[in-house]
Structures are given as structure tokens and as C-alpha cells.
Structure 1
Amino acid sequence: MELRLHLCIISLLLLSSKSTAILSDDDPIISRFQRYLRINTAHPNPQYREAADFILSEAESLSLESQTIEFVPGKHLVLLKWPGSDPSLSSVLLNSHTDVVPAEHDKWVHPPFSANLDSNGDVYARGSQDMKCVGIQYLEAIRRLKASGFKPKRSVYLSFVPDEEIGGHDGAEKLAESDVFKGLNVGIVLDEGLASPTETYRAFYAERCPMWLVIKATGAPGHGAKLYDNTAMENLLKSIESVRRFRAAQFDLVKAGLKAEGEVISVNMVFLKAGTPTPTGFVMNMQPSEAEAGFDIRVPPIADQESLEKRIAKEWAPTSRNMTFRHGQFKQKVSVLDKSGKPILTATDSSNPWWALLEDAVKKANGKLGKPEIFPASTDARYFRNLGLPAIGFSPMANTPILLHDHNEFLNKDEYLKGIEIYESMIKAYASYVDHGKIAGSRDEL
């Protein structure tokens, strides 16, 4: 009995020792990830100063050049630099945003800013996928490259920007428009992508542009018991039905596998406002004189935005039904075309060496890359594409459910660590690239 007990204790000690050894190599890496996730940068009051201090501390440990910029007071943007040996070459910009969307704490299995690591190796936190993982993976990949003795030919910049989740106007947009950005001589931008439920990584060359539409109907008020034509509610419901049929037709293309989600026009009703309010509810025996509905429309650069606007004016909000739609009722409208009238997208063929480099780097890191996609929503990458720069959306999260903006957002630590290897390969490829003496990656070339 004693011998068996001793053997059992020895086995447990050996197992414990082995487990500790397995964890010890990765523990500081995961710990740094958790520290960043625990900084509450959720809107409406993101802790930007705390996030900037953390990033600056990590940059100092890596001997990276750094500066903090406030294009808008209180909205800290951190810019880091790993200088390259050939300043004549265009640089690589690794962009990420520090802010995250709010979380409903009572809907989570773990507090959303606890960065809890469970027994399955899943790190639960708001921002674990969108997109604090990417920002820290950049830094960890550079840490590995520096440790290996790698010296970049191109300068590598890292931008940690605020406000992406509320449009990026005080973050990436102001950076892209600034003299600071012009001085970086950027040739390629990497920004965020999406998780992939399969073993194949996803990469994005364009994104759908938002058209936030409000349709308003008017009509004479009347008794709640009376039947008459062209009431505000009746006309608005006709519009909603017309929108619903269009949405269903677009969605059918996705369900049938004929188009990817990012290739169709999506329309979702996000609010409905009508009725005559009272202190305890609404007047039930009175038909309202006004009713309106809001729609989140996303348009891919391969779609005909002009035709969509004609459809809105003629079918969804015609003046013949007392609809008061006009172009000014777009809460936000972003064109799918650039200043020269061309679709805003990044080439994925032989004209763009950066795409081929990404594909090869992922393969060298034993990863699989899927077919190029259009991002279904909007990211900060659009501000750089608008300048004529190639920008690729990529977040190395395979075998992971898509949980951005969802409850219980998490990323498995093994997928996180694998993502660092992927970025190590990509950054090395990009920072080493010289196209036979040409200044590869310039805006004119691509």
C-alpha cells in the first residue's frame, strides 16, 4: 500500500513538473495578453491612457521607437517604429485599434474584463478577438524576430489607434490624413480580419461600405378605429416589406453558396419609431402622423451603389406614398468608389506582390489561407485604401467561432500562440522584401 502510494505521489509530481514546464514557456506571453485585455477600453469611456501606457511599456522592453499622438485630446494614438536598414524602401504598417465595444456583464460566463483562462485554454474577454489579440501578436512576433537576430530592411511601424468601434474618425482617419503619416512612407498596411471556424485563415482585400438610412413616412392623424388610405404606419410598413423582399433575395444568394456574405448588399432594420407617447406608454386610439425606421445597409465595392440609391427613392421611399426620404436622411454614407471612380479594393493578383508574400508566409508557418474575401463590415483599413495604398485585413484565428461584439468572446491560447508564429513569418517576409532594386509597394506601382 505504501509503495503504491509513493508511486502515485511520484507520478503526480512528475506530471505536475511536466505541466509546469509546458506552461512556463508560454505563460509570460499569455500573461501579457491578459494584462492588455484587462484594461477596460470599452465605449463610452475607454481607458485610452492606461492602454497607451501598457503599449509604451512593451515597446520599451523591445527597444522600439515610440511616440504618443493626440489628434483629439484624451484619445491616445501610439505609434511605434522598428527601423529598417534601407530607408529608401517603403515601410510596413501594422495597424490595430485599442478600443472595444461595450459588454453586458450579466450575459457572460466570466467577467468580460477579467481575461479568465479556463481549463480548455480559452481566454474570455471583450477584445480577445476584436482586436487586442492582433496588436499584442504583432509585438510578440517582433520579440521573436529580434531574439533570432533578424534585421529588417524595411522599417516596420505599429499603430495602436482609438475609436475604430465608433467610426475611426478621431483615430485612423486623422492618422491617414496627417503629415505624420506622410512621413512614414507606407507601402503596405495590415489591419484586422475575422476568426475562422475552420482550419483555414481568412484574408480580406476590401470591405462593404455603410449606408445608414432613415425612412420617414407622414400622414394625417386619425382615430384608431378608422380605416383610411396612406396613414404613416401603413406607408412605412409597405416600405419595410419592400426592403424585406430585397434582403431575402440577397440572403438567398449567400445561402445557396452563389456569393459570399461580403459580396452581397446587406440590409438590416435597426430601429422602428412610431406612436404618440404617454407617460405610461402610447395612445392606443390615435393613429400617429409620423413613423420612421432605420436601416443598416452595407454595400460591397463590386455592387452598383447608384442603382441601390435609385431603388431606395423609387421603391423603398417613394414620394407617392407620402415618404419624405431624401439623400440627407442618410445618417452615414460612404462611397464604394475612390476619387477616380474606381472600386476601393486591394489587388489580389500578380500586380500586388504583397498579397503573394502573405500567402507564402502563411504557408511557411504551416497555415492554410482561404480565398480572398470582402470584409462584411467596416474597418480602419478603408482610410488607407482611400489613399491608394494596399491594405489587407487579417487576424490569424483558425478553428475559432466568430464572436466579435458577441457575449462570451474568447480566443484559445493555442490559436493565439499559433497566430504569433504566423505574424512572425509575415513580418519577416514583408520587412525583407526588395523587388530587384525597385521601391516596391509604392502607391504608383500598386
Structure 2
Amino acid sequence: MTMSFDGFRRLFSFISIALLLRTPSTIADDSVLSRFQQYLQINTAHPSPNYRQAADFILSQAKSLSLESRTIEFVENKPLILLKWTGKNPDLPSILLNSHTDVVTVEPHKWSYPPFDAAIDPQNGNIYARGSQDMKCVGLQYLEAIRKLKDSKFEPVRTIYISFVPDEEIGGLDGAKEFANSKMFDEMNVGIVLDEGLASPEDKYRLFYAERRAMALVIKATGAPGHGAKLYDNTAMENLLKSIESVRRFRASQFDLVKAGLKAEGEVVSVNMAFLKAGTPSPTGFVMNLQPSEAQAGFDIRVPPTADDPASLERRIAEEWAPASRNMSFELRQFKQKNGKPLMTAHDSSNPWWSLIEEAIIKAKGKIGKPEIFPASTDARYFRMKGVPAIGFSPMANTPILLHDHNEFLNKEEYLKGIEVYESILKAFSSFVEAKNGKDSLRDEL
């Protein structure tokens, strides 16, 4: 293929014009997005998250921002990165921005783009990657907001800490829980924690003040084994199916409240079957002419902190879902609450942090929905257990909820807008000073 001189000249002119159209703002946005892509491209999916590579990347960003940094391993090979921007009055309670570095596993063949390429769709600007919503976006938005504040010569009054913790997706026991219960955390004198929230399909951001308590229920049914052709009463499988149907009816009654708009998802009890275990294995699958003597089903249960009588659920399990009269038993594992009290952060004028975050979001030209209970579990619960107020927030409006789903994405414009929102929040939080009777009273939480 050949091109005339005039053709080269027209091509050169086109390229020159395209370069001239790239404003300093456009170039800066490209750098911001590039850093986000680099973080997303680090495979920190379970069961083998590359924590070391993620830690190295975060530490390199901290160095570019002149932030103090520490690497802590409460558990070997699970580094927690803690960054610090010292305020002008470090005696005031500090601000903690928490995020987790791990992500859930993927099924790559079910994605439109490779889940760790962080490809940007040229048609719509969506960034496809595992962790784009949950929650690598938030961790990098913290740092980009700090970059903008530092570039503007802003100086915080309160000290700001940024934590990147491991293992949130598998319970946070070796990450946030160890961190929150450490002497180091006590010495940080944290007054407020920001952690993850959820995307919003609407144009309003979502703020979370509590979360549902997680329970794991395993129901076991037993019965005499028998030939696959014979009809028996009270076989293990028959009794377990009765139990599953009873659970299904309860689940439907709760879900109907959500569908009718009477309650939000975080305000009802959710029950979802996670596994079904039964049958006698054979070299080719299962023995088909043998009814098993045991059968089990596992359920993920989430109970809102506003539940009127949490003990009623356990009674329901014992009397309806797994009655001993049907040769059934159950095991219920549940997350303990502080002194048996619901873990909720005040979300009204009694909590100055809540008012501040609402005002800061509005100042950044964002809209806010009503306060919510997070429907799942986050690391925020460990900080609330310490008596520290924690707010769940991820600035993702006009975005479908795709955490843990195939083709998880975040639009690049939403990501950039979220940085502006965090810039406004951090400026408000770190400049805030309230004195009552000579004391800082910022723990009006529980």
C-alpha cells in the first residue's frame, strides 16, 4: 500500500489537530484512569490473591504522594498497608479511609472482556474488571482525591489514615478484624471510618449506617436408607425437601415486602440456599437405586439490626425448618454483636459526621438517597464493634449493581466524578473541629 505526499500531509494534519484537542485536563484524566487500570490488572482474586503485587503498587502511589506508609502482617503473607497524612492538629480524632485489596473469583469465559485486563469499552467508556466496583475503585479514589488536595496546597487539620486490608471477601478475620482489635488502631485515635457502599442504578448516591448480621445455617436430615424404587415415610430427602419448601415460603414473604416497596433490601431477613449435599457417590456419578440416609442443605441468612425479635428466627428454625420430630437437626453460626446490641451508626443531626458527608456530597453536585442498612457484610462492622462510627459509601451513581457478578464494570466518568466527591468529603472531614465543654465529642455513634 502506498500513500501520496498529499495523503501524508492530510494524515499529519489530522494527528496534529487531535493532539491539540487534548487539553491538560484530558491528559490528567488519562493518567488517573491509567493508575486505576494498573491496580485492577493486579489479580487479587481468591483463592490465591497476589497481595504482594498490590502492596507494591499502593506503596509506590504513597511515595508519589509523600504519604507515610507502613506494611503490617497480622497474619503471614497477608500484608495490610497503612498510609498517613498528618494533620495540623494530630491530637484531634483522626479519619480512617478503609478499603480491601482482595476480590472474589471469576469465571473468565463468561466475561465480555478479560476480567483482569481493565479494558475500557471505546463505545461507552465502561471499565470492565473484577474489583471495578468492589472495591478497588474506592481505594484509588481516596488516593486521587488526596493527590488533588495536595496539588491545591490544602492542609488537613485532622490526620487522615488510609488502610488497604486483605481478606474482606472471606470474612476479614486476618485483615480488618485484627487491625481493629490491635493496639496500633487504638493509638490512631480514629473518630470516623469510611468504608465501602454499593452502586446505585439511580442518580442518587447511597449512604449506609449499618449492615445485616450474617448467619450460616446448615440443616441435616436423617432417615433409614432404602431402595430407590420404594416409597418410604420420613426419608432424609423427603424431610429435607419439606424443610427447603418451608424456607422458600419464608423467603418469598420477605422478598414480597421489597418488591412492593414497603421495605428496602437491608431491612428484611434474607435466606438463600448455598449448597445441597446428599446421595451416594459412584464412579460414574451417584448411585441411583439407593435412597440416602443423610441429606444436608446450607443457607446464607442476613438479619437486619432493626429486627424486632432476632430470637424468633431461631425458634422458627427449630420448630418449622428443622424440627427434631422429623429426624432433623441444625447448626446455626452467627456473627456476634457488641454486648448484644445492634451495630448502627447514628444517621441524623446527632452525628456531625453524617451531616458533614451529606453536605460535602451536595457541594460536589451529587444527590443522596435515604440512609440505608447494607444488605451484606463489610469490614465496617469491626470498627463499629470498637465503638467508632463507620459510614459505608461508594460514589457510583447511574451504575448497575455488579459486585461479584460477571462483566463487573464502572464507567470512567463515574469514577472521575467520585474522586471529586471524595475530595469534597475529605476537605470537610479533615477541617472539622467541634468543641463541647472543652472536649471533642465526635463519638455520638451507638
SS at match of 1:324: strand
Deviation (angstroms), 1:67:
0.3
Which digits, 9 at most, give the CA deviation of each residue in 1:154-210, with x for residues without a partner? 100000000000000000000000001001000000000011111100110011111
State the match for 1:300 in structure 2: 304
Hey, what's the Cα distance between the residues in 1 that align with 2:192 and 2:93? 8
Give 1:315's match in structure 2, choosing from 316, 320, 328.
Answer: 320
Query: 1:342 Cα shift?
Result: 2.4
**Which secondary structure does the structure 1 equivalent of 2:428 belong to?**
helix
Residues 435 and 441, structure 2, Cα contact 8 Å, conserved in 1: no
2:290: which partner in 1?
Answer: 286
Spell out the pairing of 1:163-312 with structure 2 (5 A cutoff).
163-303=167-307, 304-312=309-317
How much has 1:7 moved relative to structure 2? 8.4
1:33 is matched with 36
Conserved in 1, the CA contact under 8 Å of 2:87 and 2:160? yes
Letter of the 2:312 partner, please give it. S
Query: Hey, what does 2:161 align to over in structure 1?
Result: 157
Say which SS state the counterpart of residue 378 (structure 1) adopts: coil
Q: Which runs of 4+ in 1 moved over 2 A?
A: 2-17, 19-23, 436-446
Q: 1:94 to 1:105 in 2, by over 3 A?
A: same
CA contact (8 A) 2:344 2:445 kept: no
Q: 1:121 aligns with which of 111, 119, 125?
A: 125
Q: Distance in 1 between matches of 2:7 and 2:131?
A: 48
TM (norm. structure 1) is 0.95
Higher mean alpha-carbon deviation, 219-228 vs 421-430, is at: 219-228
Corresponding position of 2:64: 61
Structure 1: give runs of 5+ residues left out of the alignment. none
Give, in angstroms, the shift of residue 25 of structure 1.
2.4
- The alignment status of 1:17 with 2:48, answered yes or no, reads no
* CA deviation profile, 1:371-408 (whole Å, cap 9, x unmatched): 01111100000000111111000000111111111111
**Alignment partner of 1:395 is 2:394:** yes
**2:71 aligned with 1:72, yes or no?**
no
Equivalent residue in structure 2 for 1:82, among 85, 105, 116: 85
Identity of aligned residues (%): 70
Query: CA-to-partner distance for each residue in 1:36-91, whole Å, 9 max, x for gaps?
Result: 11111111111111111111111111111110000001000000110011122100
Q: Distance in 2 between matches of 1:123 and 1:210?
A: 31
Q: Does the 8 Å contact 1:88/1:439 carry over to 2?
A: no
Q: TM-score, normalised by structure 2?
A: 0.95
What is the alpha-carbon root mean square deviation over aligned residues? 1.9
Residues 187 and 441, structure 1, Cα contact 8 Å, conserved in 2: no
Separation in 2, partners of 1:274, 1:234: 12
Residue 341 of structure 2 aligns with which residue? 342
2:351/2:444 contact within 8 Å kept: no
Q: Secondary structure at 2:173's aligned position in 1?
A: coil
How far off is 1:363 after superposition?
A: 0.4
Q: Give secondary structure in 1 for the equivalent of 2:79.
A: strand
Change (3 A) 1:3 1:276: closer
CA distance in 1, matches of 2:347, 2:36: 32
Matched-pair contact (CA < 8 Å) for 2:207–2:371? yes
**What is the rounded CA distance, in whole Å, between the counterparts of 2:290 and 2:225 in structure 1?**
7
Listed one character per residue, the Cα deviations across residues 195-240 of structure 1 (whole Å, up to 9, x for unaligned) are: 1111100110011111111000000111222222111011111100
Decide which moves more: 111-120 or 3-12: 3-12
Aligned residues: 439
Question: What are the Cα deviations for residues 322-345 of structure 1, in whole angstroms up to 9, with x where unaligned?
Answer: 0022xxx23x4113x421x32111
SS of the residue aligned with 1:133? helix
In 1, Cα distance between equivalents of 2:25 and 2:151:
20
Residue deviations 1:257-284 (CA, integer Å, cap 9, x gap): 0000010000011111111221112222
Unaligned runs of 5+ in 2: none
Q: Distance in 2 between matches of 1:160 and 1:441?
A: 27
Q: Deviation at 1:3?
A: 11
